Every structure is written in structure tokens, then in C-alpha cells.
Amino acid sequence: MHYLITGHTGFKGAWLTLMLTQQGHQVSGLSLDPEPGSLYEVGDVGELIHKDIRGDIRSADTVRAALETTSPDAVFHLAAQPLVRESYSDPRTTVETNVMGTFNVIEAISAVPSIQASVIITTDKVYRNVNQIQGYIESDPLGGHDPYSASKAMTDILAQSWMLSFPGSPMAIARAGNVIGGGDVCQDRLMPDLMNGFSQGSEVLLRYPEAVRPWQHVLDCLTGYQLLMQELITRNPMILEQPTWNFGPGPANFKTVGEVADLAAKLWGSPASWSVPTQTHPHEAELLALDATAARQKLGWADRLDFSQAVEWTVEWTKSVNSGIDPHTATISQITQFETLVNQ
């Protein structure tokens, strides 16, 4: 199977590339250049890419040419501006990338006959957040307080509208929560901030230690995406009738930012500490969780790593790389170990 991944140089994209190539699939990619020190860069992921195309998804011509050139069997659309705080400082780029960029991708998908199926990745932040304790289900209303969340909700609605208006090869939307794992270098994300701070022996500042999120290891999330893709390709009628899918962990993984930091610090050992800054920050949701019952019942998907293991695997990856283990080797080792686990 030949997959094209938009955003293949990003955190999830690099892990997905390694996972798929490890399984024997061919992978091409369309993305901006990787961030310095990212898994894609330090893990030699580019050496496994069939066709590595660098370009901005805001350009319809670039996207169309990439899909026509690669003629993939299936498309995972991950490329996005993924950060809430960045969306406050540059809302235009956030909306143009997430909304019009996705429009360019799905329009191009519809024009390339080789594509058998596609999965459009959005986020748990598409839901109109009312700080409810129970997880949101796929039919709950969408919304978005901050520019990032609003742009992803618009993206989600756009993709659903496209599926209804221009039926073609099967397409579905996947929504996930706070995904963690080794090799993430994005600014303003909890685990990268913790791993960087602990590695340097400096105290980490947490903006919202009481905020609750559904924490999940990147391999559990990506396994859900791949299961969904496989069912779309085989045109499973039960799967085709549902356009949107949640891939979030169960309530046991709903933890505060402070709880994550405490566990990571304990696993890391001394010196590892965190504190709360005094300055104010832009709004972020206090409570946000997903209900993935549909994915569990219809796709047979479930997390293989619980909350503690997800944090532990992230810490272990970072410590092993810090000790001199090649990042590519460290990542493949965890992928191989993950494949031996049974769903929780």
C-alpha cells in the first residue's frame, strides 16, 4: 500500500511514517521543512520516504501537483497549524492553513483516481466545550473559543460537507486528544516542555496545572487512524455510514497537567521540578475529554498503553536518546514493543 501523509515532517507524521514503513508500506509526504531537532530530522525518517515533497498546503497548485505526482493509494491529512497559543499571535495563518489548506487537500483527493480512501485529522478541540465531565461523542455540537479550535471546527464541518456534496472515494474524520511520545519538539506543549526542562536541569513553568486532558501515547492514536483507514479501503458499510470518529483514551487517562508533570518528574528523577508562572495567559479549556465508544465497538480499537505507561514511554524515549541511543533506533524499538501488546 502506498500512503501519502501531509505533515509527514511533524511529530505525528514522523511516527506514522516509521510505523507504516515498518509494516512494509510505501510512504510519500507533503509538508513544510521539519523543525530543528525533530524526530523527522534526528531519526533519519526522510531516508524512508518514497517521494519527499516540501510545500505549503495553502497553495492549491502545490497540493494538486503533489497528489498527482505521487498517485498514492490512500491519504492521511495531518498537516496543520496545531498550537492554540500560536493561533492567538497569528490567527490568519492558522485559519488559512487549517481551513483552506484542508480544502485544497480534499479537493485534490477527489481529482486523483488512484486514491482509495482518506482520513482527515482534526482534534478534540473541535467540540463546543462546556466543561462537561463526560467525554464528547461524535454527534455533539462543534465550536471553538480560541482561533485554533475555531479553525479546526471549521475544517471538520468543511470535510463533512464535502463528503455529503461530492461523494467519491471513502473519506472520514478522526479526532484525538492530547497525544504524547518521544521526539515532539513543538513549543507550548506539555511533554516537550517537561522533557526539555528536565534534560537541562531547569524548572518547568506550567500555565494551567489544573487543566484536565485525555492523555494518550502517539502509537495508540495512530493505530486508531490506521484501523479506520483499513476499514474505509475495504468499504465496510458500518464504517462508511459514520463520517467522524473519536480516538481518545478512557476516563482513567483524564488527568490534570499537574498530575502529568508530577509523574514525569518522578520517572525522570532528580533534578526535575515545575512551578506556576505569575503572568496571565490566553484562554485554554479547563476540561476536555473524548468518548471513543464508537471506535471501540465498531473498529475494535482500544488503547494498549494506560496513562502511566504513556508517560513512562515518553520519558524512557527521551532518556535513552540523551544517553546516546540513536533516535531512529529508539523509536523503532518502541514501535516493535507496542505491536506485541494486547489492547487494554
Q: Is residue 344 very low, low, confident or very high in pLDDT (cuts 50, 70, 90)?
A: low
The total of other beta-carbon atoms located within 10 Å of residue 59's CB is 14
Residue 71, C-alpha cell as written in the block: 498517485
Write down the residue that cell numbers 526539555 correspond to.
Answer: 196
Would you say 292 and 135 are in contact if contact means Cβ atoms under 8 Å apart? yes
Write down the residue that cell numbers 479526532 correspond to.
Answer: 175
**Paired residues of 74 in beta bridges:** 3, 117
How large is the average pLDDT for residues 23-36? 97
CA dihedral of 154, 155, 156, 157, whole degrees rounded to 10: 50
How large is the average pLDDT for residues 31-39? 95
pLDDT on residue 305:
96
How large is the average pLDDT for residues 148-159? 97
Q: In this predicted model, which residue has the larger pLDDT, 29 or 343? A: 29
Q: Is the dihedral of CA 198, 204, 210, 215 positive or negative?
A: negative
pLDDT of 213 over the 60 cut: yes
Report the distance separating Cα 63 and Cα 118, nearest Å: 15
Helix, strand, or coil (residue 179):
strand
pLDDT on residue 291:
94
Give the residue extent of every domain in the chain. 2-181+215-251+284-309
pLDDT on residue 299:
97
pLDDT on residue 257:
93
Residue 223, C-alpha cell as written in the block: 493505530
Mean pLDDT for all residues in the chain: 94
Q: Please tell me the pTM assigned to this model.
A: 0.95
- End-to-end, the C-alpha distance of the chain in Å comes to 28
How large is the average pLDDT for residues 98-109? 98
How large is the average pLDDT for residues 19-29? 98
The CATH H-level superfamily of 2-181+215-251+284-309 is: NAD(P)-binding Rossmann-like Domain (3.40.50.720)
Report the distance separating Cα 20 and Cα 119, nearest Å: 15
Would you say 84 and 282 are in contact if contact means Cβ atoms under 8 Å apart? yes
pLDDT tens digits along 238-297:
999 999 999 998 888 889 999 999 999 999 998 888 998 766 555 555 678 899 999 999
> What are the Cα distances from residue 179, in Å, to 16, 108, 166, 248?
13, 28, 32, 9
pLDDT on residue 286:
66
Radius of gyration of the chain (CA): 19
pLDDT tens digits along 40-70:
999 999 999 999 999 999 999 999 999 999 9
Residue 287, C-alpha cell as written in the block: 476540561
Closest CA to 140 of 332, 317, 294: 294
pLDDT on residue 188:
79
How large is the average pLDDT for residues 209-235? 95
The total of other beta-carbon atoms located within 10 Å of residue 230's CB is 15
Cα maximum dimension of the chain: 57
